Amino acid sequence: MSDLVIGLTGGIGSGKTTIANMFAEYGVDIIDADIVAREVVAIGSVALAQIAEHFGKDFLLADGNLDRTKLRHRVFANEQDKQWLNALLHPLIRDTMQQQCEAAKSPYCFLVAPLLIENGINKSVDKVLVVDVLPETQISRTVKRDNNTVEQVQKILDAQVTREKRLAHADFVVDNNGTDIELLKPQIEDLHRQFIKLLANK
Ligand code: ADP
């Protein structure tokens, strides 16, 4: 288990994945909530079988994988279904992330979660690193990355905590308003040094 677990968060399109990948180059283990959320419903999982039983087999794609789009639409339209799904998946995702944190071998590790604060995961990490960007930057990068409309991305932003609230939970901040990914490197290097120093003083 790593001696220091750092929660990495930021709104959609803020640059979490980009930044986590840069830390991975330093050999830092990355536990990603989005990846875990897919793993727990992989083909052969108990959760996938439970979903198919509850919602019907037509929520599976021809290859046996979960039809995420269909399920997303269903739970978006029905609060009870949403609660059922969350009650099934949230504890599973939380436990799996915990197991992966325990298996992490690097001196410190990252737990990357877009909804770190919204879901209270910030309480179970040692420090919080927030990727900070202006909402307009978030929107333009996400529109470009996902081929979505501004309205669709704005809706996702509205469902997440505000920039101010997220920053209020930050122990460390990466400023990703720059237009060049290369500009992040000195910040990442500096943070890596600070984390190593924190470990030495633990
Ligand atoms: P998140 O994981 O927070 O949703 P990503 O790391 O996927 O965000 O970044 C969103 C998009 O913006 C990606 O296409 C990424 O390549 C791009 N991006 C991230 N940071 C920068 C930057 N500083 N300059 C330009 N593009 C960036």
| DSSP code at position 40 | T
The pLDDT profile of the chain, 202 residues, written as one tens digit per residue, is: 888 999 999 999 999 999 999 999 999 999 999 999 999 999 999 999 999 999 999 999 999 999 999 999 999 889 999 999 999 999 999 999 999 999 999 999 999 999 999 988 999 999 999 999 999 999 999 999 998 899 999 999 998 999 999 999 999 999 999 989 998 999 999 999 999 999 998 7
CA of 180 to the centre of ligand 1 (A): 10
Nearest CA to ligand 1 atom 4: 13
Instruction: Please report, for residues 100, 118, 120, 162, 197, the alpha-carbon distance to residue 158 in angstroms, rounded to integers and kept in the order given.
Output: 30, 12, 18, 8, 37
Ligand 1 binding residues, C-beta < 6 A: 10, 12-18, 141, 145, 176, 178-181, 184
Query: What is the domain partition of the chain in residue ranges?
Result: 4-200
Atom of ligand 1 nearest to the CA of 114: 3
The radius of gyration of the chain's CA atoms, rounded to the nearest angstrom, is 18
CA of 176 to the centre of ligand 1 (A): 9
Q: Which CATH class is domain 4-200?
A: alpha beta
